[in-house]
Amino acid sequence: MIGLGDMSIRMRHTRGHTGNRRSHHALKNTNIITDTKTGTSRLPHRIDEATGLYRGKQIAPARAVRVAKDKVKGTSTAPVAVHAHEHAHAKHSNAGAKAAEGVAGKVATGGRPNKSATGEKA
């Protein structure tokens, strides 16, 4: 059985050992290429999304130029159309009778509902 007295002490590292391990942790700059013809920037060995070219060949269609739209701050002041239900819900036709059933119906009506109120036959 291993007790606390049997555990080994963690090895210590010198500053040099820690620095050597961390020497590879530095972040490297990304190599971004600017196209000489169009002036767009891209990563190396990747397709130019603006023109669709890769190594001088047309690989994909060119992306359409986006036009900035005027943005309006705040909520819209345009009137909102009222949503009207044009279809009938058959399952909701007996909603009044269903409300009297169950625990909430017993509390609201003061006891068991009448069989004639719920539409049930005796």
pLDDT value of residue 20: 92
Q: How many CB atoms lie within 10 A of CB 97?
A: 14
Cβ atoms of 32 and 43 within 8 Å: the answer is yes
Strand blocks (E) in 9-122: 33-34, 41-42, 53-54, 57-58
CA distances from 6 to 2, 3, 60 (A): 6, 5, 66
pLDDT profile of the chain (122 residues), mean per 10: 62 86 92 87 90 89 78 76 70 66 67 58 53
pLDDT digits (tens, 9 = 90+) for 34-63: 988 888 899 999 998 888 889 889 999 988
